[in-house]
Chains A and B, each alone.
Chain A
Amino acid sequence: MFLAPALIGFTAFVVYPLFRSAYFALTTYNGLTDPKFVGLDNFRRMFTTDPSFWPSVRATLLLVVLYVPLSLAIGLALAVFCNQRMRGVGLLRTLCYLPVVLPVVATITLWKFVFNPQVGLANQVLNWLHLPTSEWLSGDDSAMPSIVIVMLWSVGSTMIIFLAALQAVPTELYEAARLDGAGPRTVFFRITLPLISPIMILQVVLQMVTALQAFNQPKILSPDNQGGPGFSTRTLMLSIYDNGFPRLGQVSQFGYASAQVWVLFLVIVVVIAATARFSSIWTYSDHVS
């Protein structure tokens, strides 16, 4: 059957680990000796005594709140901008997509160097423009925004999807609106937005999941690779990794990490369910699925 390979893999590599990790979440397990069942202890520790949990929730929320609206707004704005029939727009589109094509690990380390407060490009540009410099990734308050900037650099993929959606809007609608004397703003808000609203909802969900699961950026960009300074960029994903694959001299806590994974997973599910619930209010659709 056509479906066979996908099914086998799905069961083996998705379903099985899912259940196994649910089991691990209820144990203490250092990967070397057998797991020891401890019931809900991990969750109790997470919510009460672990000094890193609530800060990591805060860091994760900050990331989501900063990243999602900006990536949607910038992605859409870029898409609208690139939807013009100007010469060179193809080149512009390619350039916008370029950061996405490049290997993530390579570009993230590049940005880390760009943001170096002493020898990086960012502060040099700021100096040149006579603007105040920043500590970027080393500052308590500037670290997370810096990470969001790096993530926003890859907004090209969001842009492409919006672009496709924009191009699917039938042009007769625009002409009819223009004939009725509608200005560009009205056109945008009354016609474009509603018609791309299903895509917008999809994008909201995708970007939220991306933000909640972001790992490479906070990990590699933070000065100590652990979500520093302090806990300012230690998102839940980083916390999970740190507990599961800890730095030298510390012991793995797979059980606890699995418990945290499930908390994150539940948050993602809630977010998606909520968005889906409200999507019928926000979207304009002329079919019923």
Chain B
Amino acid sequence: MTTSPDVTRAPTTAPTPAAPPTKPPGRAVRKATWYAVALLISSVMILPILWMLTVALKGPSAVFEVPPKLLPHEFHFKNFIDGPKVIHFPRLLLNSLVITGLSVIGGVMTSMMAGYALARLRFPGRKVWFYVFVGSMLLPPVVGIIPLFQLFKDIGWYDTWLPLIVPAFLGGNPLFIFLARQYFLSIPHSIDEAAKVDGAGHVRIFFSVMLPITKPAWITMSILAFQMSWNDYLNPLIYLYSSQKWPLSVGMASFVTQFAGQTPDWNLYMATNLLYMLPPLIVFFVAQRYFIQGLSALGTVNQR
């Protein structure tokens, strides 16, 4: 009664291992192929950056060797100091940080507020407004460049940072508004009810309740807004006159001196480029977790 069932069961379990005897080696092959492909993909994604590092470490004449060597002979770490010096890196870094910081705060705040309004407040035509906002995402930005330039010129904001920052505060970004609204819609109304019972008005609910819950959403927006502002090149170029006010993106362009017939110092440029890329990278790595979570709000859109 105790041992015989085990004994008799043993032979009956024999056939089941026979069904996937190919499984262990098959799975190993699948695993190996997966890793091989993964390696290939990773290298495609990262090779250009590694090459940039290589060029950044090269001496001035080594850049134009044919065939280009992957590993530099000498390691010119000094490039990382000389390069930034060329464009007054610290000042431009500060400029970029201020401009980007303010744009991010403005953009995220406004979009979150707009999203909240569209999701929670009841007013006529809120669906229409939503569609209008999202629709404006499809406008080529070039449509506005000339009239906007004239507008800012007439107000007297030329050669200030205001054209770069104020639209973030006052316009928000349709993509962010979309994200915000979706996120708010996914929060059950019971939370609102609970807060209202405690006597909270919309403002209180927004700041004390909603914002903490929607962390992934606004962190994602912050990261995206950061990237958009950090990378923005055309707008600062058009609106800023004095070189002390430039953000880094325009400063980097000063390396590429095609006009005077001078070939840019690629090694210095790549070195400075790497430094220029560091802040967005750091921001991304720090907030990665929330970012993936936040973007999935876009991925789970089933209501339009």
In the complex, are there CB atoms of A and B closer than 8 Å? yes
Contact of B114 among A3, A104, A262 (CB under 8 A): A3
Query: Are the C-beta atoms of A99 and B45 separated by less than 8 Å?
Result: yes
Known: A99-B45, A113-B266. A164 touches B110 (CB 8 A): no
Stretch of A44-52, A78-86, A138-146 at the chain-chain interface: A78-86
- Measuring CB to CB, which residues of chain A are less than 8 angstroms from any residue of chain B? 1-3, 5-6, 8-10, 12-14, 16-18, 20-21, 24, 31, 78, 81, 84, 86, 88-89, 91-99, 101-107, 109-111, 113-114, 118-121, 124, 127, 153, 156, 160-165, 167-168, 198-199, 202, 209, 212-213, 215-216, 237, 240-241, 244-245, 254, 257-258, 261-262, 264-265, 268-269, 272, 285, 287, 289
Residues 40-77 of chain B, each 1 if its beta carbon lies under 8 Å from chain A, else 0 = 01101111110110010000000111111010000000
Given contact pairs A14-B144, A81-B41, A287-B302, A103 touches B230 in the complex (Cβ within 8 A): yes
- A21 to B151: give the CA distance in the assembly, Å: 12
- Residues in B with CB closer than 8 Å to A92 are 38, 41-42
- Interface of B, secondary structure class, is helix
CB distance from B235 to the nearest CB of A (A): 12
Give min CB distance, A60 to chain B, whole Å. Answer: 12
Contact across chains for B300 and A164 when beta carbons are under 8 A apart: yes
Point out residues on B near A: beta carbons under 8 Å. 31, 34-35, 37-38, 41-42, 44-49, 51-52, 55, 63-68, 70, 109-111, 113-114, 116-118, 121, 129, 133, 136, 138-148, 150-151, 166-167, 169-172, 177, 202, 206, 227, 230-231, 233, 238, 249, 252-253, 256, 266, 269-270, 273, 276-277, 280-281, 284-285, 288, 292, 295-304
User: Could you list 14 further interchain pairs (A-B, Cβ under 8 angstroms) beyond the known A99-B45, A110-B273?
Assistant: A2-B121, A10-B171, A13-B144, A81-B37, A93-B292, A96-B41, A97-B284, A106-B252, A121-B51, A121-B68, A165-B300, A202-B298, A237-B140, A268-B138
Chain A residues with CB under 8 Å of B288's CB are 94
Instruction: Report chain B residues within 8 Å CB of A5.
Output: 109-110, 113-114, 169-170, 172
Q: Which 10 A-B pairs have the closest CB atoms?
A: A164-B299, A9-B171, A9-B170, A164-B296, A17-B144, A6-B114, A20-B147, A2-B117, A17-B147, A3-B117
Within the complex, which residue of A12, A119, A287 is in contact with B66, where a contact is CB–CB below 8 Å?
Answer: A119
Which residue in A78, A121, A163, A244 is a CB contact (below 8 Å) of B41? A78
Return B140 CB to nearest CB of chain A, in Å.
5
Report the Cα distance A199→B299, complex, angstroms: 6
Q: Identify which of B166, B281, B302 gathers the most chain A CB atoms within 10 Å of its CB.
A: B302
Task: Find B142's partner among A94, A96, A261 (CB 8 Å cutoff).
Answer: A261
Q: Tell me the complex Cα distance, A164–B280, Å.
A: 23
B65 touching A254, Cβ below 8 Å:
no
> Would you call B292 and A119 a contact (CB within 8 A)?
no
CB of B234, distance to nearest CB on chain A (Å):
8
In the assembled complex, the Cα of A96 lies from the Cα of B41 at a distance in Å of: 8
Q: B172: nearest residue on chain A (CB-CB)?
A: A6
Chain B min CB distance to A102 (Å)? 5
Query: CB distance A258 to B277 under 8 Å?
Result: no
- Neighbouring B residues of A264 by C-beta, 8 Å: 140, 142
Q: State the CA gap A8–B168 with chains docked (Å).
A: 11
Residue of B nearest to A150 (CB): B48
**Contact A121:B47 (CB < 8 A) given known A9-B169, A10-B136:** yes
Distance A272 CA – B167 CA, assembled complex (angstroms): 26
Q: Compute how far the CA of A241 lies from the CA of B287 in the bound complex, rounded to whole angstroms.
A: 36
Check B113–A10 contact: CB distance below 8 A: no
Cβ contact within 8 Å between A13 and B171: yes
Shortest distance in angstroms between B52's beta carbon and chain A's nearest beta carbon? 5
Report B-chain residues with C-beta under 8 Å of the C-beta of A165. 299-300
Q: How far is the CB of B294 from chain A (nearest CB, A)?
A: 10
A-chain residues with CB within 8 Å of residue B167 when the two chains form the complex: 9, 13
Complex contact A161–B298 (CB within 8 A): yes
Residue of A17, A212, A215 with most chain B CB atoms under a 10 A cut-off: A17
A95 contacts B142, CB within 8 Å? no
- Bound-state CA distance A289–B117 (Å) is 20
A257 touches B146 (CB 8 A): yes
**Cβ-defined contact, A105 with B299, below 8 A:** no
A6 and B113 form a contact (CB under 8 A): yes
When distances are taken between beta carbons in the complex, the residues of chain B under 8 Å from A96 are: 41, 45
Are B146 and A14 interface neighbours, CB within 8 A? Answer: no
Instruction: Give the distance to chain B from A194, nearest Cβ to Cβ, in Å.
Output: 13
